[in-house]
Amino acid sequence: MNDSIPTKVCFKCKALKPKTEFNKCKTHKDGLGSYCKTCIQLYQRDNKHSIATYQKQYHIDNKELLNERVRRHHSMHRYGISQEEVAELIKKCHNQCQICGVSLLQFNPAHIDHAHNTGIVRGILCRCCNSGLGLFQDNPKILKKAMEYLQ
């Protein structure tokens, strides 16, 4: 092999391979996984059923943890606010939807309301009110027509 290409030995197949043949791994000193991509693919192919069974059980056992990770990721990457800021918004509105006043409980979780044209967070709503505003395209004229229609 060319000496200018950095290499590494795969722990499984014991072959000397270019470092590009290894996945990144933050926990290893060199920043690369122990097994080459080929060995990982073979393992995954040969153990597809047991991997799927393990993953399914892991999701069942860790449902709340995984849901919390999704919420944290969603609020930060979609709206640019932390879970702590979301909790503060919920506290400010006394754990109630800012439109209809329904209590925001685990079975009726809080939804972050934002202006679609600017992305700025406006407050906390229940799912129905948040969806309603979105379906009315955040347009006050359409909402006013809907109010007139209902009367």
Answer whether 0.85 is exceeded by the pTM. Answer: no
SS3 102: coil
100, two tokens: 């209809």
CATH domain 62-150 topology: His-Me finger endonuclease fold (3.40.1800)
Domain chopping of the chain, boundaries: 7-48, 62-150
> What letter would DSSP give residue 114?
E
Q: Give me the tens of pLDDT residue by residue for the chain, a chain 151 residues long.
A: 445 679 999 999 999 999 999 999 999 999 999 999 999 999 999 999 999 999 999 999 999 999 889 988 888 988 899 989 999 999 999 999 999 999 988 778 889 999 888 889 999 999 999 999 999 998 999 999 999 999 9
DSSP per-residue letters across 5-42: S-EEE-TTT--EEEGGGEEE-TTSTTSEEEEEHHHHHH
> Computed over its alpha carbons, how large is the radius of gyration of the chain?
25
